[in-house]
Chains A and B, each alone.
Chain A
């Protein structure tokens, strides 16, 4: 599976936007970019995914670089409930997820 690189941790103030970066320079043409997050003491939770075009849903936006070698998860207004570990994952089809260490997001009130 192709690898992704994320910062270990990031910090944000409450109600401000957060941009979580992910590098995936070895992405293949069939890889989708998935984001999951894991709140404390819970299992991972799907956030968003995309292939080439930017995507929006009620939780977040996903901005994908034109060459697809990087992407950014955007939380438009961080809340305390968004404090979690965010995982960027490349995936083809319905294969098992390959998690890295993710980015631990802290939100400051």
Chain B
């Protein structure tokens, strides 16, 4: 399977703990996006990378959130001191290139569901 891979699929943690999620994009896709989705809502943009550079961060991304994409390959999203409000599905997507047409399609992973108790 050469799609976007996310790990873990589910994470249960206690309030105040730190968690880290991993996303492996489709090979050679140079753009990588993180979204968050709560129940009954559409996904909300968090941040994105072009290669290893983090180009944009949403105001939803508080100081407790940090994302990295070393060497422009996989990416990690860390949440420090988790709160119950962080409970959500965290989705990762990748796209092949900047530009128009089919190169703009985003391919999503199945997500990591976080439950903060």
How many residues does chain B have at the interface if contact means C-beta atoms less than 8 Å apart?
Answer: 28
- Flag whether B65 is at the interface (Cβ < 8 A): no
- Flag whether A44 is at the interface (Cβ < 8 A): yes
A43 to chain B, nearest CB (A): 3
B108→A43 contact, CB < 8 A: yes
In the complex, which of the residues B31, B42, B107, B111 contacts A99, with contact meaning CB atoms closer than 8 Å?
B42
In the complex, which of the residues B4, B33, B41, B103 contacts A96, with contact meaning CB atoms closer than 8 Å?
B33
Q: Which residues of A contact B42 (CB under 8 A)?
A: 85, 87, 99-102
Q: How large is the interface on A (under 10, 10 to 19, 20 to 34, 35 or more residues)?
A: 20 to 34
B108→A94 contact, CB < 8 A: no
In the bound complex, CA of A44 to CA of B41 (Å): 12
In the bound complex, CA of A6 to CA of B4 (Å): 28
Pairs of residues from A and B, 4 with the lowest C-beta to C-beta distance, nearest first? A99-B42, A43-B108, A96-B45, A46-B105
